Chains A and B, each alone.
Chain A
Amino acid sequence: MTRPTPTSSVSQVHPLPAPRESRVLDTDVGAIIGALTLVVVGLWSRHGGVAALGNSAAKTYTSLAQLTGLLCSEAGLLGLILITRTPLVERRYGLDRMFNWHRLLGEAMAVFLGVHIAFSIAAWAIPTGTMNAVQSLTGREPYMALTTVGSVLVLLVTISSLKWFRNKLSYEMWYFVHLTAYFGLAASFSHQIVLGTDFADDALARGFWVAIHVALIVWVIWSRWGRFFIALTRPLRVSAVTHEAEGITSVVLSGTHLQKAKAQGGQFYLVRQLVKGRWWQSNPFSLSAQPTTAGLRFTVKSRGESSNAFTNIALGTRVVVEGPYGVCTPDEVNSEKVLLVGGGIGIGPVMSFLEQLTTQHEPIVLYRVSSEHEMSHVKELETLATARNGNVRTLVGPRATLKVADPFSADVLLKAVPDLAQRVVIVAGPESMVKAVQRGARAAGVPVENIHAERAWW
């Protein structure tokens, strides 16, 4: 998109344009995953994998070890593509879903890895005995020591990502454990090429396998780390800090780099302040106002230690933003009317979303907050909603003091919003509230595809 060059020295403030829509289709993703699986299984079968099944025990185990090894690699490759956050995919599915799929693929990979190791040891144990097999496969065979380290790392990463375990780790701790997965994958590559009979004996298959790994490395370096380093060179600065309510602060980030940025209400950024001791932490913060060339506004609640640091941030602090991410944007709405539900700090994305709606959407905002002291932006919300032929309803108080058991049941929602079934529903807030609204809205007759929310991803 070309922008007219400013003729005067006074730069005009205008909203940022929306990021381009992704042209990737579900069928494209299916085709790529399907074709990769076809090639992987075909490769195994062509190399005698199927023929070996049910032959002798050693051949059957070897064959199954090969198949699970290949599938393990495939899951790893696909999982890696997802965390490149490549806009092509992100703009279509959203970072939240990509991270959730990444988790599923990671779990699949761990299962394949376990089966692969079990069958490999079983196959080797037949001629040499279990102890010998374990010794061979953890060190005596070429590259197996390296591979053993790699698989231990992959298993560590998987364990650290299990919900139960992860809740005990800080995000940063978990993240840095997670980074070792890169090394884990790299370490296991050598044994695939040297020992894996599918690649050691077939130059074409080996060429293909090396090629897709090299392509992936380039993709990861560019899409994940390249973008990250570019973001580092283009920091924004804190230009305003406003205390909104108890523990709630709005921070505006500005900078010349915004002139070329694209973003929309409802999206979020990963935000990192370049301050000693904090530069390595990044937080997902939602835009709480329509992004403009004048600045990005985020409304932050001091909860964890790191977001606390944002509420006390000094003016002029350099802040690096990666993004924007998220597909819960006004693009999801055509001409339908809209219901926006914001819970607690979730009112931030609701506001930036609301700001981009028009009078035809007649937006109704439900603002759920557990205490009056935590209410923020009420005036702003009312101004925005009224200007768009809509209105704002608030529901204040701890859950136990409410008149109804479930404030988001279909009955209650329909009483508050009689034309609910004709509306597109946008929800932002704590996971439990999002689920309650989704349940209530569906029961009230809103089609699933008209209910939009960010999925919880950590």
Chain B
Amino acid sequence: MSQKPTLGRQIFPAVALTVVGVGFISLLDNPGGGVVALEGAIGTVVPSTVATNTTLAPSPVSPVEGSGVCDGDVVTGPTAVFKWGGLQLQATFTKKNVLCGVTVLNYPNEKDKSARINQSALPIYNREAVEIGNAQIAVVSGATDSWRAYTAGLQAILDAHPA
């Protein structure tokens, strides 16, 4: 080796790269761990008074019902507020308190892209949730944020309505 490098020469690359790295990370999308808050109370409705007003703009996400007869409670969940808006679910149960249907009451659709993503992903989440009867569903690629909100919202309903 010729001459010993100066301390500055040794430290500078590490400092510079760390600053750039931290700067870059802070610029990244931060879903904030997913759901920011669950807003609104959980409401249980008796079967006879099931609300039919699932009016959704621009187009509703078709509810999914399981094979069992949904003759139990209908539970409206809180709104899971996340980066792109709010997502609210309504779950129906059988008499034996098994999850048998999920309806999406509200989902982020302010942006066309949000609407598109959710309209394709939410029916899949609905189907899977009813199939397995809980909130441990698989993520659809490209719809991770919705997945986080969906699972948080559904879990809140299930927690409030133990089988």
A residues bordering B, Cβ < 8 Å? 21, 25, 27-28, 30-32, 34-35, 38-39, 42-43, 46-48, 51-52, 56-59, 62, 123-124, 126-128, 141-142, 194-195, 197, 200-205, 208
Contacts and interface: CB of A to CB of B under 8 A. Distances in A.
Given A39-B25, A46-B28, 17 more contacts: A25-B9, A25-B10, A27-B10, A32-B17, A38-B21, A38-B25, A39-B24, A42-B21, A42-B24, A42-B25, A48-B31, A52-B33, A58-B137, A59-B151, A126-B138, A127-B136, A142-B141
Q: Which 9 residue pairs are nearest across A and B when measured between Cβ atoms?
A: A51-B33, A35-B17, A42-B25, A31-B14, A31-B13, A202-B29, A197-B144, A27-B10, A38-B21
Contacts of B2: 21
Contact of A48 (B11, B138, B148, B151): B148
Contacts of A123: 138
B33 A202 contact: no
Nearest to B11: A27
11 contacts: A31-B17, A34-B14, A35-B17, A42-B24, A56-B136, A58-B138, A141-B141, A200-B141, A201-B144, A204-B29, A208-B24
A128 B138 contact: yes
A39 B32 CA distance: 17
Interface string B29-42: 11111100000000
Contacts of A56: 135-136, 151, 155
By CB atoms of chain B within 10 A, which of A28, A32, A35, A203 has the most? A35
B45 interface: no
Contacts of A42: 21-22, 24-25, 28
B115 interface: no
Contact of A200 (B16, B33, B137, B144): B144
Given A42-B21, A48-B31, A201 B142 contact: yes
Main secondary structure of the interface of B (DSSP, over half): helix
B128 interface: yes
Interface of B: 1-2, 5, 9-11, 13-14, 16-18, 20-22, 24-25, 27-34, 128, 131-132, 135-139, 141-142, 144-145, 148, 151, 155
Contacts of B16: 31
Given A27-B11, A28-B13, A201-B145, A57 B136 contact: yes
B28 A200 contact: no
Nearest to B145: A201
- A interface majority secondary structure: helix
B29 A201 contact: yes
Contact of B136 (A58, A141, A208): A58
B136 A38 contact: no
A140 to B, nearest CB: 12
Contacts of A194: 141
A58 B141 CA distance: 15
A128 to B, nearest CB: 6
Contacts of B25: 38-39, 42-43, 46
A204 B23 CA distance: 12
B137 to A, nearest CB: 5
B77 to A, nearest CB: 17
A48 B34 contact: yes
A38 B28 contact: no
Contacts of B33: 48, 51-52
A62 to B, nearest CB: 7
